[in-house]
Each structure stands twice: as C-alpha cells, then as structure tokens.
C-alpha cells in the first residue's frame, strides 16, 4: 500500500498549540476535587494540592502517576533542560532501567539497602536504577574508540527508583522520581574541570529559565563520591536541608561543608572528646569540642588527610594506643575546636604517655557544624545566616571514582606523541524534575493555589466565555495561536464564571481571559507572579504606545490586577504580560 | 535572586534545528564500528546493524540502551503518535512502572511467569508493568466523578517489561520495549465500538505517516481478553507471525482467526478426533479433523459458545460421558471439519450410547488452521495467500473484562432519567515503538544499510564539504534552517568523502549534499526510498519551473540518482525531494 497522506515534515512539536478552541479541551483531570474552595484552601498542604487538583496521583505510597495536567509541567521542564543541555553539546540517550548486579559489586554500591532488587528467571540479579554511573561508564568503555571523541557529555531524563523506607506523600521523597542525569568524560582533570564549569553554566541557565530564585551551595560528595560538588536549592521553610550563607562574602554551603568560627569562644563550655586514628594506625587523633555542639568528623580531614572516618570503635582505638611498648613509634594529634580556648575545662588525657614531645596540638580549628550567627570561615568577616531549602539538583566532579574500578581508559598521545593508556575523568550531574515541580509548587503557592512561571505553566491562558458564545471571538483564538500562546477554553457547563476563574487560579495558570457582554472589549485577569520590578514591566512599555482601547485596574498594592482590552489588541497585551511571568 | 535571562516562550521544541552548522555535530555514536564496509555489509543481520552502527546497545541480553542515533528515531515515532492521539482527543499521562500485586490478583493475571516481580522492604510484591489495564482501570475508578466525563481516552509512551525466557538480540523480542499503550472508557458497548473505530482511524493515520505498507489483521484477543481485536503488521519474511489474505475479498487475519474451506475435501484423509465438553457438563463435543492438520479449538466456539476451552483431560471427559445412568440427560455434538466428507474413514465412536437421537452432527465446519491455497470462509470465493509478518500494534475491544472485576462503574441516567450504576466499557490499544524501529529497519535495509522514511530519519540531510571550507556555503545552512530541514554536518577529519557518503547511506539518511570544487553548484545524492510513482515525484514538478541551474543524473533504472543544483536553489530542491520519501 503506497501512502498518499499529508507529509510529516518537520516532525510534530511536543508541546503544540491547536488552532481551534474546540480541540483545546481542559484535561480530564482538571480540578476533579469538588471540596476545594476559597474557605478551606489555605489549610491544604501543598503536596495534597497536587493530588486534589489532579496533577498527579499516588497509586501506592511513594509511587507516582503523572496525570495530564502534571505531565504538561514536567514536559516543559524537560524541554528547558533539553535546550540547555544541547547548547553545551550534551547528547541525549536513554539507558535501560534495569542494571545487573556485577558492575555494582565492582564499585561497591550493590549493598545499598535502598536499591530495588529483582531476579530474572535465570536467577541473575538486577536493580532498578537510582542513578547510572556504573552503566554509563560501561557503555562508554564499549563505545569509545579514540581519545579524539572526548570530551563527551551524555544525559537522559527518565524515572529512577529508590526503595525509600518511609516514603512520604508528594514528589519530594518518593520511591520513584524523574531525574535528568548527565555524565561527562574527559581526558584530564583540567578538561574535566572545564566541563564541570560548562555544566554549572548550563544549570544556571536552566534555573534562570525556571524563573524562581535558587541557591548554588558547596556540598559534600557523599555516596556518589568524587572531590567537588554543588547542590542546587530552592529556599523554603518546608525544606529538609539547611544552607548557610555568609552576609559578607555571600558564599553558600550546606551543613556538611560549612566551617565556622564563634563570635566569642565559650570558656565555660563543657568539653567532649572523640578519638580517631589514621588509616596507617600511626597516629591517634583526639578531637575536643563543646559537648552541646555536633562534631563533623569530615572537617578533621583538612588537617589530617589520612584520617580513618569509617566505622570506628573508640575503646579499641584507645586500647591500641595504650600499649606502652608500641607507643614509642606512634604520634598523637590533639585538635581543639575554635569555640574552645586553652582555659576551657578539658577532660583528663585518657592514655598514659611517655614523651610529650610526640604530641601535636592544633587550636582554633572549626570541627563542629556551624550555627546561625557564627563567623564565616572563608572570609572570616561575615555572619552566617541559615535557611531551610529544598534540594533540586546536585553536580559532582567524580574524577576516576568510577573509571578506575570499571577500567575506563583510552589511548592518548603524551607530550612526545607516544600513545599511553589514560584514565578517563568523569563528572555526574543530576536535576530532579519531580523535585522541581514540587519545589516551585511550594514556593509559588498562595491562599488561592499555585502560580506557575510561564515557562512551565500547564498552559498560558485560560479562556472563558461569560455570555453566550460570541462569534467574533474566533479572531482572538487565531491571534493567540499565531503568537504561540497556549490557551485552554473552559467550556464546562453548569460551572459559573466565578468558579472557573477560581479553578484557573487554583491550577496556577498565569492569565484568565473573560469574553463577556462588553465584547469586543475583553477582560484579562492577572494571576502569574512577576519576576521583575513593578515599574519595569513589559506591558507598561506596550501601554505607552497602545493603538487600541486598553484600560488597567490596579490592586491596592499598585500592581495591575485586570486589563480591559479591545479584542484586536488582546493577544499583544497577553504576550507582553506573559513576558514578565 | 531575580532573574533577567531571555524568556522561554514558547517552550523549546523537542526536535530542534540548530542554525549553525558547527553545533550540528554528528552523534558521538555515529558508525563507531570500523569493520563495516561495502564488502561485508550484506551478510550482517539487521538486528546486528542496529548495534554495529550505534543506534542502540544491549547492556544485557534483552535489555536496551537507546543511543543518541536510535533515540532520535524513537522520538520521531513518538511525535507522530502524539499528534494522531491528540487529534482523537486522547490525553497523555504517565503511569508508574511499578504495580502492586493485589490488582493483578483480582484480574487473575498475577501468575504470569513473564512478569518481572520484586518486593519492597516491607515485603509487598510489585511487578514491572508489561501493560497497564489494571492500573489505569483503578486510576479512572478514583478520578471519574461523573458520566459526563466519558468518553475518555488515556495513553502513555513508556518502557514496559517482560521476563522473556529466551530474549533474542535486537528490538523484537527483548525484556523491555517502548510501547504506546492507550485505554478507552465509554458508557456503553455502542459508544466503546465507536471509540474503537476512532482509534482504528488514528492507527491508519499513524501508519500512513510512517510511510511503510502495513496490514490490519483480524486477531484473537488472547491473554488481554475482550471480544474484538486487530493486529497491525509489517509484512516481511523474517516475521514471526503468519497472516492470511484473501485474493478476492481482501480480508486479512492471523492464523488464529482464519477460517478456511478446502479446494476439494480429502476423502482418504486419516481422521483424528478430540473431545471437549460444555462448561455446564451437559454436552460432549467430538471434533473430527484430518490428522495431518492442526485443530484450532477456538473455531469450535462459533457453533458451541459454551464450550470449555480451558485445560482438559480427554480421558476424564470420556469417563464422565460413559456413565450409562447419567448419560440419558446428556447430549453429544459431533463436528466434522470441512476437509472431511461422510465417506471419510471415521474412527469408532468411543462411548456406549443408548439413544442416537441425542446425537447432533455438524458437517462442513472449518475447525483446523488454514493453509495457503484454501478458500476464504468469508467470501467463499477467493484463495488464501500466506505471508510472514512483524507485529507492531494490537488493538482490543475489552468490554467489561477489567471494569467488571475491578468494579469500575459510574452513575448514568437511564431513559426515564433515573440514575443507575453502569459498568464502564473499555478498549486498549498498543503500538510497539521499539518494534516499529526494528520493523521499518528490516523492511528498508538493503545492501548499503538502512533507508529511513523522512518522517523518522535521524535527520534529513548529511552535509559534506569536499573541498576546504567554502565561505559562501553558509547561506545554504541558513536556507535549510528556514525550511525546517534537519541536517548534520560531517566534519570528521581523516575520513574520506567516499567513506562519509557510505556512512550516511549506511545510517539511512535520505539525502547527502556534497559541497565541492564546483561550488556554487552543489551535488545532492538520493538515498531515501520513494513512496510514490517515479513519474509523479514532487521534484519533477519543481524541475519544470526551475529558476536556477539544476541538472539530474539518472540511474540505470530511470530514477534520479544525483542532482546538481545551484546553492541558491538547493534548499528548495531538497525540500521537494524529501516530500516523496
């Protein structure tokens, strides 16, 4: 059968505008919950709003169905990320969500109790991937034929899985999540750092496209490993993370990376001590700190790079260093937290010791987690301010953490032109799409519902016809389509105009257009948040040179609340309004 | 931080053209296999070509990584499906890939040995979904508030999983596959049938967009259930399915649905007999058929709707009907296959029987699977022709198969206006994206590689600069971008022009443009298949009214092989060439 149909060129767009208002139906899951009203809305937690309005549903605790309304938002975030990834030359692929155990055993990550594991009929073990360092390293090992192919950046946007013990409602701590995970491959640490910087630039662009203020925080590398890492956060009181920001140098870091000095040392502090040793068993480390503070052992690493921070048994350590025969060949380092002074009330030294010259003492070192109001250790000037935050991204420089055990290397000419096997240096870069939806939802919601930025709103404008259908309004729909403005026409019968406006605001659509009895004048109600100063808004410029009837009703705060515009100028006004949202 | 960046409106397109040739890099997985050459290409099986060229890789048997090149193809198929689904009002969503056991136990599908099963930390059991009838029925049950929301069609495009015992290489029988699965919900069987027809229309449009000839075959409903079903196939000798097509009425069906009559009955046939009973145990069915043919028990259902086709023990059935005391209340139906006559050599009747008047005999009934050359039972005129085929889609009318056990109903006013609980009638509709990629790959490949239709080709045009970079060629790139023509610039150093053309043809890109020493004349080489008669091709019309230099070199078969075009007209010529591919 030879086909004769209309040719499909270019490929259809993923997010399309449909020209006729009649096919611009509301999603079937649009505000199915009839209990939501102005009176009870304020008390509904944000994560419940998502399910009550019909963005998502949870078929089981921690699992997520993305309904049409929520899927539209997640797809728009995806499109923003695709665009910014492509700009830095990252290539999209899609890895299997099943990963066999052997690679994970090599990297030592198989014994993670949060891996969902399963067996196939031949008893081979797999996990549902929570992240793909193992698989992508193996893939590049198979595909990489020449050093000339480097640098390489691959990314994918797919569901990941984690057997979270106590999944909570909502998108923040579920057992599945949509993540953009990117992986970079370079010939040297220098190249890899430059790729890391390029990715940081792409992240800044992505978050700028998403409009909401964000924080880039220095972070610990944790289980993923590597040596350099940043977290990307939305600041919100509901967040599970704590960030510290310096009032002077402005540096931001999470609690595991914030070193601080006290405003004043506390001479009367009760002193606690913890014992560590170096990996080579040569040195005992005694860490002294105020007993009402929390020791952060990783801070000791700056002074004792060889410190053993694994599982430790203090009694065994002290026992080892109490043997007077071997003690002579060993050393002791005493580290005093900066909050203590020499006049602090130190406990008795706990082991006998022959030669005091073998003891080194370091003072004024920050080894406990910071507190609000303390001094930034970076500039030694500003005060630290804490805030709660929602983590939505994490970037890691990995170095050879995965390329070493999985043996990813490539022949590369050295300075004399001779080919030498070179380890490939990696980075990995995550963004949680589900978390961004949850985070922006949390940040933008108010007593009327959500307020999505235009770049990710399910659609830009909801259109209501208050009077019986007005024939000439068709030209408005044509103009909206011409201007790439995504609209939905709310034609639900038996729902009043007030209720429809309430629902559009609840869902978080930036604008509502009401076509009513004053046609050809139409009314545009402003809902979307503005990311620019009131005086500097785009529509004000358009307003000054308007060529059609257009009046503005201001709210009590001096902000524009409603625009009354002749239908012929409506699309132009809408476009100018959307530009600042 | 208030952002100041360029505003993202409208959302970026998923498949974008990038304006500068320098960012139009080849995917990093572009023909990484250096062993592929004209001499050995013919012997490489199609499924190996996919991995050797770098469309996909198999991290494990049956698992699939979609590499950048393959992902582009699958995304274009996705875009075509999205477009056609949207046209019939289907809404996209995305269901969790984990589904808890309880719903499957209710529908009786949990004991499927091909389900990948896993437990969470609280020992609850889940499967990785191979299909989502259970979950979508449950979801609609939770979301559906009024009969006025019906009809509803939901669909999603996601990976599905099946613990295939013997996964084969390639995309056709793996342990994961990308499927578009759609589900429809209607108030009555009549409405559901009309939705089914609407979906059939969308499928025809999808396959027309995909360009390759396809077959819509009547099919058995199998494990999914329901009462009406069609399979969608690409005919190819490598296919695992067998289709029958009538030379007269043109009806197509698969082997489980093809009833046939013999050209001549075979009086000398050795006769076999199989025994069945009705579910109510009242009737013994004796099915007689030629012993060299295959009985298709489902064919008996047309005459004996109550027949029990489950597991059966013939000895037990005969035993039951040999008890002379109860026999008086029972009946016997003898069914003779159409290939037998009354003169055939029937075996002795196997049970004692008192009253021959209780025996009914049906003759001339087709009860064995058809063979090529037999007569179509539909028109009783044409001959059946068999072909091997690759199944790429399956549509089912489900009725209440899932809404009944999972109790999906809705209050609906009857003719008197009284509200009554009404069971929702369902349909389900699958298309295998992975299978379409494999199928079209198989159908289009030749001794030089793949030949993708323009609608799904990774890109439309490969561009080579044979001489040193020509400055004025930049206007060609601009024109291509203006015309939404997707191109990639092959700037690999140390790869000769001939090898580059070979690679572009191998990957299956419709056209290669060579910018060489004759610039501003450029050379366009034709690779893509034409889906229209040679005389009727679009470019011939453009050629007649050309306003720039343009000559054509024909191949031995009278087809255009190369076009030599002035650069100013190149984009126009390329566009006209692509229209028929």
pLDDT beyond 90 at B302: no
Assess whether B220 and B72 both reside in one domain. yes
Res B53: pLDDT: 95
**Which residue of chain A is at minimal alpha-carbon distance from B55?**
A93
Q: Do B93 and A71 touch (CB under 8 A)?
A: yes
Identify from B2, B5, B6, B7 which residue to disrupt to test chain A contact, counting A C-beta atoms within 10 A and taking the largest count: B7
For residue A443, CA distances in Å to A72, A233, A255 come to: 19, 12, 22
Tokens 């005999």 sit at which residue? B361
Assess whether B398 and B299 both reside in one domain. no
Assess whether A219 and A273 both reside in one domain. no
As given in the structure block, the two tokens for residue A546 are: 């308007």
Residue A382 is assigned to a structural domain of this protein: no
Assess whether B121 and B215 both reside in one domain. yes
Report the residue from B83, B94, B578 with minimal CB separation from A71: B94
- Tell me: the pLDDT tens digits for B110-167? 999 899 999 998 899 999 999 999 999 999 999 998 999 999 999 999 999 999 988 8
The closest alpha carbon to B73, from B506, B562, B346, B458, belongs to B458
Report the residue from A63, A79, A118 with minimal CB separation from B118: A118
Identify from A9, A11, A207 which residue to disrupt to test chain B contact, counting B C-beta atoms within 10 A and taking the largest count: A11
- Tell me: the pLDDT tens digits for A242-276? 999 999 999 999 998 999 999 998 888 899 999 99
Distance of CA A105 to the CA centre of its chain: 28
Report CA torsion sign: B416, B417, B422, B427: positive
Tokens 């559906």 sit at which residue? B144
Assess whether A278 and A421 both reside in one domain. no
Peptide bond into B151 cis (omega under 30): yes
Res A22: pLDDT: 60
- Tell me: the pLDDT tens digits for A328-369? 778 889 999 999 988 888 887 766 665 667 788 899 999 999
| A165: chain B residues, CB-CB within 8 Å | 121
CATH of the domain at B127: 3.30.930.10
Q: Do B12 and A80 touch (CB under 8 A)?
A: yes
Res B8: pLDDT: 36
Res B177: pLDDT: 96
Report CA torsion sign: A260, A263, A265, A271: negative
Res A475: pLDDT: 84
Residue A524 is assigned to a structural domain of this protein: yes
Q: Do B159 and A211 touch (CB under 8 A)?
A: no
Res B12: pLDDT: 35
- Report the predicted TM-score, pTM, of the whole model to 2 decimal places: 0.91
Report the residue from B12, B94, B139 with minimal CB separation from A82: B12
Distance of alpha carbon B422 from alpha carbon B432, whole angstroms:
33
Residue A327 is assigned to a structural domain of this protein: yes
| A138: chain B residues, CB-CB within 8 Å | 59
Q: Is B431 helix (H, G, I), strand (E, B) or coil?
A: strand
Q: Do B208 and A152 touch (CB under 8 A)?
A: no
Res B558: pLDDT: 85
Distance of alpha carbon B380 from alpha carbon B399, whole angstroms:
30
Distance of alpha carbon A37 from alpha carbon A172, whole angstroms:
25
| B100: chain A residues, CB-CB within 8 Å | 59-60
Rounded to 10 deg, the angle between the A567-578 and A474-482 helix axes is 40
Peptide bond into A520 cis (omega under 30): yes
For chain B, the domain total comes to: 3
Do residues A70 and A56 touch, judged by C-beta distance below 8 A? yes
Report CA torsion sign: A305, A310, A315, A317: negative
Distance of alpha carbon A470 from alpha carbon B304, whole angstroms:
60
The closest alpha carbon to A317, from A286, A296, A361, A271, belongs to A286
Residue B14 is assigned to a structural domain of this protein: no
Assess whether A394 and A308 both reside in one domain. no
Residue A436 backbone dihedrals phi, psi, to 5 degrees: -65, -45
CATH of the domain at B569: 3.40.50.800
Res A517: pLDDT: 86
Task: Read off the pLDDT of each residue in B187-210 and give the average, rounded to a whole number.
Answer: 96
Nearest C-alpha of chain B: how many angstroms from A273? 37
Assess whether A434 and A556 both reside in one domain. no
Res B468: pLDDT: 62
**What is the residue-averaged pLDDT of chain B?**
90
| 3-state SS record for B307-357 | ECCCCCCHHHHHHHCCCHHHHCCCEEEEEEECCCCCCCECCCCCCCCCCHH
| 3-state SS record for B438-450 | HHHHHHHCECCEC
Residue B499 is assigned to a structural domain of this protein: yes
pLDDT beyond 90 at B384: yes
pLDDT beyond 90 at B23: no
Res B14: pLDDT: 33
Assess whether A215 and A86 both reside in one domain. yes
Task: Read off the pLDDT of each residue in B557-567 and give the average, rounded to a whole number.
Answer: 93
Assess whether B122 and B235 both reside in one domain. yes
Res A316: pLDDT: 85
Q: Do B83 and A3 touch (CB under 8 A)?
A: no
Res B21: pLDDT: 59
Which residues touch B216 (CB under 8 Å, ≥6 apart)? B200, B203, B204, B230, B231, B232, B233, B252
Do residues A203 and A429 touch, judged by C-beta distance below 8 A? yes
Res A4: pLDDT: 37
| A143: chain B residues, CB-CB within 8 Å | 28-29, 32, 54, 57, 67
pLDDT beyond 80 at B389: yes
Strand partners, B554: B560
Residue B60 is assigned to a structural domain of this protein: no
Q: Could you tell me which residue, B311 or A163, shows the higher pLDDT?
A: A163
Residue B58 is assigned to a structural domain of this protein: no
Q: Do B11 and A98 touch (CB under 8 A)?
A: no
ipTM of the complex: 0.91
Assess whether B147 and B240 both reside in one domain. yes
Assess whether B499 and B564 both reside in one domain. yes
As given in the structure block, the two tokens for residue A480 are: 């909206």
Query: Which domain-ending residue is among B369, B402, B426?
Result: B369
The bridge status of strand A511-515 relative to strand A461-465 is parallel
| Kind plus residue range of the DSSP H or E element containing A102 | helix A101-107
Q: Give the range of the structural domain holding residue A342, as residue numbers without chain letter.
A: 260-369
- Tell me: the pLDDT tens digits for B433-485? 999 999 999 999 999 999 999 999 999 999 998 876 667 778 888 899 999 99
Assess whether A288 and A420 both reside in one domain. no
Total beta-carbon pairs less than 8 A apart between chain A and chain B: 231
As given in the structure block, the two tokens for residue B342 are: 């009354």
Distance of CA B19 to the CA centre of its chain: 35
Res B39: pLDDT: 87
Res A169: pLDDT: 66
Res A223: pLDDT: 57
Q: Do B120 and A80 touch (CB under 8 A)?
A: no
Q: Do B9 and A484 touch (CB under 8 A)?
A: yes
The closest alpha carbon to B213, from B1, B400, B390, belongs to B390
Residue B80 is assigned to a structural domain of this protein: yes
DSSP class per residue in A326-373: HHTT-EEEEEEETT--TTSBPPPP-S--S-GGGEEEEEEE--B---TT
Q: Do B79 and A14 touch (CB under 8 A)?
A: yes
Q: Pick out chain A residues at pLDDT < 50.
A: 1-19
**Which residue of chain B is at minimal alpha-carbon distance from A67?**
B93
């Amino acid at each position: 059968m030879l086909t004769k149909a209309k040719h499909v060129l270019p490929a259809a767009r993923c997010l399309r505008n449909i020209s006729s208002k009649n096919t611009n139906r509301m999603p079937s899951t649009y505000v199915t919950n009839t209990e939501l009203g102005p009176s009870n809305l304020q008390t509904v937690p944000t994560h419940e709003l998502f399910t009550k309005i019909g963005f998502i549903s949870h078929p089981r605790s921690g699992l997520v169905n993305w309904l049409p309304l929520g899927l539209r938002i997640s797809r728009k975030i995806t499109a923003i990320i695709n665009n910014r990834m492509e700009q830095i030359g990252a290539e999209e692929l899609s890895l299997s969500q099943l990963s066999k155990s052997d690679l994970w055993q090599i990297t030592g990550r198989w014994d993670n109790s949060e891996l969902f594991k399963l067996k196939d009929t031949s008893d081979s073990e797999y996990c549902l991937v929570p992240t793909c360092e193992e698989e992508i390293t193996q893939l590049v090992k198979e595909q990489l034929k020449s050093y000339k192919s480097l640098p390489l950046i691959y990314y994918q946007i797919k569901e990941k899985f984690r057997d979270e013990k106590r999944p909570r409602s909502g998108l923040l701590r579920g057992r599945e999540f949509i993540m953009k995970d990117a992986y970079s491959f370079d010939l040297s640490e220098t190249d890899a750092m430059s790729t890391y910087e390029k990715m940081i630039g792409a992240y800044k662009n992505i978050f700028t496209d998403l409009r909401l203020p964000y924080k880039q925080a220095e972070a610990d590398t944790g289980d993923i490993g590597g040596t350099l890492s940043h977290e990307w956060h939305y600041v919100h009181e509901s967040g599970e993370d704590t960030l510290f920001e310096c009032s002077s140098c402005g540096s931001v870091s999470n609690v595991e990376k914030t070193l601080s000095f006290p405003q004043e040392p506390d001479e009367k502090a009760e002193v606690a001590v913890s014992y560590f040793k170096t990996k080579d068993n040569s040195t005992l480390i005694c860490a002294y700190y105020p007993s009402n503070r929390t020791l952060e052992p990783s801070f000791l690493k700056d002074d004792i790079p060889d410190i053993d921070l694994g599982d430790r048994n203090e009694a065994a350590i002290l026992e080892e260093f109490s043997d007077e025969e071997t003690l002579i060949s060993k050393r002791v380092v005493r580290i005093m937290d900066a909050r203590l002074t020499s006049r602090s009330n130190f406990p008795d030294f706990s082991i006998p010791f022959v030669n005091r010259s073998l003891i080194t003492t370091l003072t004024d070192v920050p080894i406990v987690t910071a507190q609000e109001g303390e001094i930034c250790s970076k500039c030694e000037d500003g005060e630290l301010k804490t805030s709660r935050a929602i983590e939505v991204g994490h970037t890691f420089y990995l170095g050879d953490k995965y390329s070493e055990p999985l043996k990813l290397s490539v022949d590369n000419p050295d300075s004399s032109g001779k080919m030498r096997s070179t380890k490939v240096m990696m980075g990995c870069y995550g963004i949680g799409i589900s978390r961004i939806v949850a985070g922006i939802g949390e940040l933008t919601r108010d007593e009327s519902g959500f307020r999505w930025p235009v770049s990710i709103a399910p659609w830009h404008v909801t259109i209501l016809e208050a009077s019986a259908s007005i024939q000439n309004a068709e030209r408005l729909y044509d103009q909206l389509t011409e201007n790439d403005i995504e609209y939905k026409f709310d034609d639900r019968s038996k729902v009043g105009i007030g209720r429809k406006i309430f629902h559009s605001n609840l869902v978080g659509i930036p604008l509502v257009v009401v076509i009513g009895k004053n046609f050809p004048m139409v009314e545009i109600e402003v809902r979307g948040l503005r990311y620019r100063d009131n005086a500097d808004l785009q529509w004000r410029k358009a307003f000054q040179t308007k060529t059609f009837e257009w009046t503005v009703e201001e709210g009590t705060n001096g902000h524009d609340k409603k625009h009354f515009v002749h239908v012929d100028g409506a699309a132009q006004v809408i476009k100018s309004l959307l530009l600042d949202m």
